[in-house]
Structure 1
Amino acid sequence: MRLVNAELFKLRTTAIWWIMAIVLVPLYAASVLANWAQFASTDPSQVGNDDQAEQVRAALEPINVATSMYTSGQYFGVLIVLLLSAIIVTSEFFHLTATSTFLVTPKRESVILAKFGAAVIVAVMVWLGTTIINLIVVPPIMGQLDLSASLGEPAVWRAIGLNLLAFVLWAVLGVGLGVLIRSQLAATLILGILYVVGTSAIGLIFFLLTQYVAKWFENLQVLIPTSASQLMISGTDLPGNPPRWVGAVVLIGYAVVAGVIGTLITKRRDIS
């Protein structure tokens, strides 16, 4: 725990954490408003394709509207967690403290485990902040949509809990990727661009493959980490999508691979 506290102290002594917090606030607000507008304006009868109409009708089921609204902010929240988790690693090289860190704690796996622990704590804090606000602002929105608050539904609390798991797994992924990209600036830019632009580009590729090659490509979209996160928190299994547990397995797989690779590289890489 001493090492974890040290990692959190390093993060708190830089300006990056509150900059990220300031960035997250408008992005979170935009997410809530976008979800609200989407559910208020979507009409399944206006969707031409029968399969798409079925998916829209399923998404508009009260329980799926509730789970989506109560987990609003996940897309940008996990992006902030991903970047902060990578910075926990890359800041060592940016501020030239890596050598002293490993001299004080020669057992490198202890250091990297402490970084994982600090990243998980950051993830929990971001999740907790967005979740508390969601629990305050979403019930009135559900009322505006002529739906009950649904806070008595087990599926809502399951989605909130799985949302926490998603935040934690993205934190582990961020630390692992931070080990691979040692430059703080490069890590922030590369991961941010890959998350936003890369996700959209890969999603478009899968869409085109589904439309023009084979229908089963649609199910492979779960391999996109952001899609896996979204699948995890759906209230029910949605038509045309794999079961919710597949999303959890995919995201856990990415986190485990990143964590193991990050630990092994840290143990063997020369630090200077």
Structure 2
Amino acid sequence: MRLVRAELLKIRTTNTWWLFGLGAFVLLALSFLVNAVSAHFIFKQATDVPPNASPEQAEQIRAAADTLYQAANLYTSGQFFGLLFVTLIGIIVVTNEFHHQTATTTFLTTPHRTAVILGKLVAAALMGAGAWLITTLLTIPATIIFLGAENVDNHFGQWGVIRPILLNLLAYVLWGTLGVGFGVLIRSQIGATVTAVVLYLVGTAAAGIIFSLLQQWLKWDWISKAQVIVPSIASQLMISGTELPGNPPQWVGAVVLIAYAVVTGFVGTMIVRTRDIS
């Protein structure tokens, strides 16, 4: 626990946390605004299904128009960019040691490298949980007010809403640990942060395009479901209030993220145990 407190102190006493926090708050507000505008038009046109839509597409449109689905989406607004900031914090927890050349002091003070990495993993997970708590405390009242203005049941307290909110917590915690693992693999602070941002933003869009093209080309139904192997898409699947037709269940997304976190955490620990500091 002393190691965990030390890691939290390193973040808390620098400008990193409030710079990331400010950026996350701005993007949270924009995400909620986009989700609210989208929900407003969906509520007004809930039954409008394009005449050329296939039966499965029509079912997906009706399921997405469900008030419970939209409520869960609003309660978990900001997840996409919030997870990116949590990942970057996890990366900095590791790369700061090499960027400021304090890794030698850290490992001399605590010669058990596994304990050091575990401390960083726990600290990153706690920071992820803190980010989830703050964003959730902001989105819950905002969603209740918005749905009340739309004369729609807010569904707060129902399992279909509580489950996505709790799974959102799991996503924030796991992405914090993923950031630590990523930082171990790429020790350069600039290299790790830039690579993570590009992979997260561009990789998510590219994966969606690739899987869509493969689906249209090969006509295999399972290809579209296989998108869940992309971590950011798995995170989005976890927080859906209801299961959309043609999509895997929410627990699949949780399993995928847990697997990524376990593998990166284990590999990162093994690398630190065997690799020279310099």
1:59-208 paired onto structure 2 within 5 Å: 59-208=64-213
Deviation at 1:143, TM superposition (A): 2.0
Deviation at 1:165, TM superposition (A): 0.5
The answer for unaligned runs of 5 or more in structure 2 is none
Deviation at 1:220, TM superposition (A): 0.5
Cα deviation 1:205-240 (Å, max 9, x = unaligned): 011111222232111011111111111111222101
Residues 1:258 and 2:256 aligned together: no
Separation in 2, partners of 1:22, 1:236: 31
Deviation at 1:46, TM superposition (A): 4.7
Deviation at 1:14, TM superposition (A): 2.4
- Decide whether the 8 Å contact of 1:40 with 1:145 is kept in 2: yes
- Decide whether the 8 Å contact of 1:27 with 1:73 is kept in 2: yes
Cα deviation 1:217-271 (Å, max 9, x = unaligned): 1110111111111111112221010111111111111111111101110111101
Residues 1:2 and 2:7 aligned together: no
Q: Could you tell me the percent identity over the aligned residues?
A: 51
Separation in 2, partners of 1:118, 1:213: 44
Instruction: Tell which deviates more after alignment, 73-82 or 230-239.
Output: 230-239
Separation in 1, partners of 2:188, 2:62: 46
- Decide whether the 8 Å contact of 1:71 with 1:160 is kept in 2: yes
Cα deviation 1:108-161 (Å, max 9, x = unaligned): 000000000110111011000000001111111112333111113122111111
Separation in 2, partners of 1:19, 1:53: 43
Separation in 1, partners of 2:160, 2:59: 21
- Decide whether the 8 Å contact of 1:175 with 1:259 is kept in 2: yes
Provide TM-score, normalisation by structure 2: 0.94
Aligned-residue RMSD, C-alpha:
1.2
1:225-244 paired onto structure 2 within 5 Å: 225-244=231-250
Residues 1:49 and 2:58 aligned together: no
Aligned to 2:24: 24
- Decide whether the 8 Å contact of 2:49 with 2:61 is kept in 1: no
Q: Which SS does the other structure have where 2:48 is aligned?
A: helix
Separation in 1, partners of 2:104, 2:150: 56
Separation in 1, partners of 2:99, 2:6: 17
Separation in 1, partners of 2:149, 2:212: 33
Separation in 2, partners of 1:259, 1:182: 15
Aligned to 2:14: 14
Give 4+ residue runs of structure 1 displaced > 6 Å after superposition.
Answer: none
Cα deviation 1:176-217 (Å, max 9, x = unaligned): 111001011111111011101111011110111112222321
- Decide whether the 8 Å contact of 1:45 with 1:53 is kept in 2: no
Cα deviation 1:27-79 (Å, max 9, x = unaligned): 00011011111122244625442222321210111111111111111111111
Separation in 2, partners of 1:32, 1:212: 35
Separation in 2, partners of 1:114, 1:216: 39
Residue-pair matches, total: 272
